[in-house]
Amino acid sequence: MVGVPGKSKGCTTCRKRKIRCDLQEPFCKTCTKSRRICEGYARFPVFLNRTLQGPEKRYGLEEVKAPFSQSSDRDLSQPQPMVSNIDFQRGLVESRRAYDNRVLVQPNGCTAVEQQIISALWEKYTPSISSAQGGTPCVWLHHIISLPTRAVPLDLSLKAFAMTRIGWINKDESLVLQGNLCYGRALNAVQKHLSSEALMWQDELFAASYVLSIYELFESTTPSIAGWNSHISGLKHLVLMRGPQRHMTPFTRAVLEEFRTSSMIQCIQYRRSTFLGSPEWLTLPWSETGKDIFQQLYDKGFALAALLEGIDNARVTDENTNFSILSEYLGGLSGLDEELNIWYGEILQESPLPLYWSTQSTSPGWHLKQAVGPRTLPSFAFHTLRLANITVAYWGLRLILSNTIALACRQVLSINIQLPTQSSSSTPPQATQNLKTMSLHLLEAHTTAYRLELATNIIRSMPYCLNDKMGLMGAQKSLFALRTALFVLQRYPGQELKWCQAMYQELDGKGLRYAREIAKLEGKHSAASRDDLPIIASHRRDSEGP
C-alpha cells in the first residue's frame, strides 16, 4: 500500500539485504550491478503455524515459494553452477508479473518463458517480412526448434544462444548472464557426451556443437575469431568421425549444409583443403535428394581452398618456380573460373529475374540507420535474403579467385620459367609461349577495376542484407563477403573504403563485437595475429593488380 510504513516495494533480494532498491523492472540495477540475482518483486502467502506450545517463530521474508538453489547474496564473479530451469523461469515470470506462482512446462521440456525466448530468437534471427524469407528462411534452426524433445547439450546450447541474443537486443543484463551460464553448462554437456561411446553419435550432439559455434561468433569478446575457429575445427573432427552416411536425414543434412558454409569460410581463410571437398562428402549426403544450386557454390569454395593450399605448398610465387607447376595451377585456377561462370549462368536460369536490381538507398524500408551507402551509386535489392546471401558469397569467391589469378599470371610474365629437361610433345618454346599467352588473356579479364567492381557490388548489397528486417542472419551471412571487399578496398583507399568500414560498424551494432576492430586494421596485417589476417592473404603480400 502506498504510504503505509513498513510496506517496502523493493525486490526480495534488496529487502533481505535491507538496502534501498531502485525498483527497476524486470530486474533492479542494485542487484545486477553487484552481480547478484534479483528475485523479483512478487509477494507470496505467509502462513502462521500454531502448535500446542503456541505460534511458531517466523523469520523475516519467510514466504511460501520454491527456494532458489543459490544464495542471492553470493558473488557472481566466481564461476557457479547455473540455477535450475525452474528457478530461472520463476524469476522471469515473477519479475514480469505475468503468471502466478506456477511453473508452466512445454512438451520439449522448456518452461513457458524459455519457450518465448526461443520463439523471440527465431523472430530476431530470421527476416521479419515474408517477401524476403523465400519459404523457410533458416531450415537448420527450424528443425532444432521444432523437435518435440531436445537432448541436454542441444537444449542448453539453444538456450544459451537465445538468451544472450535476446538479452543483448533488449539490454537485459541478467538474461545475458543466464545465457552465459547456459553456455558453460552446454560445453560441459557436450564434453560429457563426446566421452560416451553411446552418446557421441547422436545427431543432436552435432547440432548442439554447431549452435555453440554460432554463439561464439556473436559473443566473441575480442577482435579475433579464435573462439569461433576453435569450435569449427572441433566440429570438423566430429563430422569426419560421423561419416557422410550419418548426414542423410532432413535434420542432419540441414545442419551439415549450414556447417559447410562456416567450414568453407575457414578453409579459405587459412588456405587449407578439407575432407568436405572429397567426392564422397560432395555426393553421399544428397544421394537421395540432389544438391541445390546454393550448396553447389560452396563446392566451388572448397575447390578454391584446395587450390590455395597447393599454390602455397608449391611456392608458386617463388622466382625459381618450375614450369609444370605454374602451368598446373594456372590451369586449375582458369578451370575454376570457368566453373563459376557456368554456376552463375545456372542460377540466373533458376532464379526470378533480375537476380538483383538498383534501388535508391532512401527507399522506404530499405535503408540503414545511418546514411552509409555510396552517395553516387544506388544500393542493390534482391527477391529474398537467401538470394542476396548467395550472390554476395559468389562475388566474394570471385574476388578471391581473381586476386589469385592475377598474382599467378604476373608471376608467369615476370620470371624466367625453368623448362623441363626432358623432351615433350610440345616444344619448350611453344609451351612457354602458350602459358604466357594464357596469362595475358586472363589478365585482360581479371583487372584491378574488375575486383574493385566486385567489392563495390558487395558494399551496395549491404543496405539490404544488414537491414533490421533481415534479422541477425543477414548480418552473419554478410561477414565472408565483407571481409573480401575490405581486403581489396584497403589497398585502394577512397570513399568505397569508408563505406565498407561503415558497414562493419553496422555489424558491430548487430552484436558481432569484433567487426569494428577488423575494419580498423586498414591493411596493417603484417603485424596482426593469424586470426586477424585477411581471408585472401597469400604467400606473397604484393598482390597489386595490373
SS3 322: strand
Average pLDDT taken over every residue of the chain: 78
Location of C-alpha cell 523492472: 25
What is the distance between the alpha carbons of residues 28 and 9, in angstroms, rounded to a whole number?
12
> What average pLDDT does this structure show over 361-367?
44
CB 465 within 8 A of CB 475: yes
Q: For residue 424, give the C-alpha cell.
A: 615433350
Element (H, E) at 440: helix 428-445
What is the distance between the alpha carbons of residues 329 and 308, in angstroms, rounded to a whole number?
9
Domain positions in the chain are: 1-65, 112-282, 292-524
Closest CA to 392 of 365, 339, 355: 355
Residue 39: the pLDDT is 76
Q: Looking at per-residue confidence, does 522 or 39 come out higher?
A: 39
What is the distance between the alpha carbons of residues 247 and 315, in angstroms, rounded to a whole number?
37
Distances from the Cα of 233 to the Cα of 102, 158, 213, 223, 535, angstroms: 43, 20, 10, 19, 16
Location of C-alpha cell 573460373: 337
For 62-65, the CB contacts below 8 A with 24+ separation are 64/101, 65/90, 65/101
Location of C-alpha cell 558487395: 458
Q: How far apart are the first and last CA of the chain?
A: 79
* pLDDT tens readout for residues 114-132: 889 999 999 999 998 877 7
> What average pLDDT does this structure show over 139-155?
94
**pLDDT for residue 400 is more than 50:** yes
* pLDDT tens readout for residues 208-235: 999 999 998 888 755 567 778 888 999 9
> What average pLDDT does this structure show over 37-58?
61
> What average pLDDT does this structure show over 499-508?
81
* pLDDT tens readout for residues 459-493: 999 999 999 999 999 999 999 999 999 888 888 87
Query: What single letter denotes the amino acid at residue 366?
Result: W
Q: Looking at per-residue confidence, does 419 or 429 come out higher?
A: 429
SS3 50: strand
438 CB neighbour count, 10 Å cutoff: 16
pLDDT tier at 147, thresholds 50, 70, 90 = very high
SS3 105: strand
> Which residue stretches of 6-126 are H helix?
12-17, 29-33, 85-96, 112-125
* Phi, psi values for residue 104, rounded to 5°: -95, 125
Element (H, E) at 448: helix 448-465
Distances from the Cα of 62 to the Cα of 1, 40, 45, 506, angstroms: 20, 15, 9, 49
Residue 526: the pLDDT is 30
Q: What are the DSSP E strand ranges found in 275-432?
A: 356-359, 379-382
Quick one: angle between helices 203-219 and 226-242, nearest 10?
Answer: 170
**pLDDT for residue 522 is more than 60:** no
What is the distance between the alpha carbons of residues 495 and 517, in angstroms, rounded to a whole number?
19
Topology given in CATH for the domain delimited by 1-65 = CD2-Gal4 (4.10.240)
What is the distance between the alpha carbons of residues 402 and 415, in angstroms, rounded to a whole number?
20
> What average pLDDT does this structure show over 42-70?
51
pTM: 0.74
CB 218 within 8 A of CB 472: yes
Residue 27: the pLDDT is 74
> What average pLDDT does this structure show over 170-193?
94
Q: For residue 141, give the C-alpha cell.
A: 534452426
Q: How many residues does the chain have?
A: 546
What is the distance between the alpha carbons of residues 186 and 14, in angstroms, rounded to a whole number?
31
Distances from the Cα of 161 to the Cα of 154, 156, 221, angstroms: 11, 9, 15
Closest CA to 481 of 230, 301, 328, 319: 301
Closest CA to 211 of 244, 187, 193, 192: 187
Exposed/middle/buried for residue 62 (C-beta within 10 Å: 0-12, 13-18, 19+): exposed
What is the distance between the alpha carbons of residues 250 and 139, in angstroms, rounded to a whole number?
9
> What average pLDDT does this structure show over 279-289?
96
Least confident of 60-69, 288-297, 388-397: 60-69
What is the distance between the alpha carbons of residues 419 and 324, in angstroms, rounded to a whole number?
8
Q: Looking at per-residue confidence, does 150 or 25 come out higher?
A: 150
What is the distance between the alpha carbons of residues 216 and 195, in angstroms, rounded to a whole number?
22
What is the distance between the alpha carbons of residues 233 and 272, in angstroms, rounded to a whole number?
12
Exposed/middle/buried for residue 269 (C-beta within 10 Å: 0-12, 13-18, 19+): buried
